[in-house]
Amino acid sequence: LKHIGVLTSGGDAPGMNAAIRAVVRACTHYDLKVSGIHEGYQGLIDGNFQELDARAVAHIINRGGTMLKSARCMEFRSKEGREKAYEQAKKQGLDALVVIGGDGSFTGASLFSKEFDIPVVGIPGTIDNDIYGTDYTIGFDTALNTVVDAIDKIRDTATSHNRLFFIECMGRDAGFIALNAGIAGGATEILIPEDDKEVDDVVAKLKASRDAKKSSNIVLVAEGDQLGGDVFKLARDAGERLPGYDIRVSVLGHIQRGGSPTCSDRVLGSRLGVAAIEQLMSGHSGIMVGLRNDTVTTETLHDAITKKPGINRNLMHVAEIVSL
Ligand code: ATP
C-alpha cells in the first residue's frame, strides 16, 4: 500500500474536513502518498486529483463543508461509470480509497470494492445519523447544536407573542435530529418517522399544554415524518382545531448543514480518519469505521447500508415526560 485517495460524497457535513485532515496526516505519519479527489465520485472518474501533504490540510479542522467539495454523480451508479473510475484510479496509481459520505456514497463504495481489486474503507459523514454501525455520524452533533440554537431563537418570539410554532428540521428518513434537538430545545411535541402520531395526537398534546399553562409551544417535525411531508398543511390542519392559537411555521433548511463543527464532530472526524488508514494498512476493505461506546469499531459496508440504526426508545419516553 503506497498511494491512498480520499473523497467526500453526497451531502456535505460539518466535520468532514477534520476527517480529511486526519486521513492526510495519518498517511504522512505512516509514510503513504495521499491524493484528495475533488467532487466525489465525479472527480474519481474525471481524474480531478490533488496530492496533499500535512500542511495542505492546515486551518480546515474548524471549517464546515468539505475542502474537497462534494457531488452527486449519476455516472457512478452504472457499472460503466464505475469502470471508468477504476481505470482512472489505476492511471493515477491509487492503491486504496477512503470514501467519506452517507448511505448512498457507501452503496457506491460497496459495489466498487466488490467489482474491482481496490480496497475501500468508508467514513460515515452525514448530519442525519442514519448509518448502522456507529453511534454517531460526523456532522450530526454540529447539526443538533444548530437546530437547538435556532429553536432557542424562535422560542424568544414564541414566548413574547404566545405563539405556537411548527418547526421543520432535516434528517431524511430518520428522526435522530428531531428527537434529540426536540428534547434539548424543549419542544412540546416531536414528530419523527419512527413514530406514527396523527394530527389528533398533536392537537391533544397542545390542548394538554394549554391546560398545563405553557406560554409558548414548539412542535418539531422531522422532514421524513408522515405529517411533516407538508409542515404548512400540518399547521393548518392542527390550527383549525386549536382556536385561539397564533400559529407560525419555520422550515430551518440548509443552515442545518453548515457552520463550524463542534468539538465532538472534530474529534470524531479525527478518530475515524486515522482509523480508516489503519484499517486499510491492516488489509481490510469493504468496511466502514465507526464509533460505538467510545471505541472505534468496524462494520461491513453491506451492513452499514442495509441495516437500520434503531431510534432510541428511551429518548422517546423521556421526550413524552419532559415536554409538559
Ligand atoms: P447524504 O445522506 O448526506 O445525502 P449520501 O452519500 O447518501 O449522503 P447520495 O446522493 O445518496 O448521498 O449519494 C452520493 C453519491 O453516491 C451519488 O451521487 C452516487 O454517485 C453514489 N451512489 C449513490 N447511490 C448509489 C448506488 N445505488 N450505486 C452506485 N453509486 C451510488
From residue 31, how far is each of 16, 18, 25, 63 by CA, in Å? Answer: 22, 20, 10, 26
Cα angle at 297 between 296 and 300, to 5 degrees?
A: 145
User: Quick one: which atom of ligand 1 is closest to the CA of 42?
Assistant: 20
Give 229's pLDDT tier (boundaries 50, 70, 90): confident
Residue of 80, 82, 107, 256 with the most ligand 1 atoms within 8 Å of its CB, for mutation: 107
pLDDT of residue 228 exceeding 80: no
Measured between alpha carbons, how far is 170 from 153 in angstroms, rounded to an integer?
Answer: 18
Q: Is 313 annotated as a binding residue?
A: no
What does pLDDT average to over the chain?
96
Comparing 160 with 65, the larger pLDDT belongs to 65
Residue 128 falls in the annotated catalytic set: yes
Measured between alpha carbons, how far is 255 from 108 in angstroms, rounded to an integer?
Answer: 27
Here the ipTM equals 0.97
From residue 274, how far is each of 9, 30, 56, 109, 215 by CA, in Å? Answer: 19, 10, 17, 19, 48
The H or E element containing residue 238 is: helix 231-240
| Average of per-residue pLDDT across 145-169 | 94
pLDDT tens-place string over residues 235-245: 999 999 998 88
Span from the CA of 70 to the centroid of ligand 1 (angstroms): 11
Please give the distance of CA 10 from its chain centroid, rounded to a whole number. Answer: 10
Least confident of 120-129, 131-140, 228-237: 228-237
> Would you say the CB of residue 101 lies under 6 angstroms from ligand 1?
yes
User: What percentage of residues in the chain have a pLDDT greater than 70?
Assistant: 100
pLDDT tens-place string over residues 257-305: 999 999 999 999 999 999 999 999 999 999 999 999 999 999 999 999 9
C-alpha cell at 289: 469505521
pLDDT of residue 129 exceeding 80: yes
pLDDT of residue 226 exceeding 90: no
Is pTM, for the whole model, over 0.90?
yes
Catalytic site residue from 128, 130, 141, 225 = 128
Measured between alpha carbons, how far is 144 from 175 in angstroms, rounded to an integer?
Answer: 12
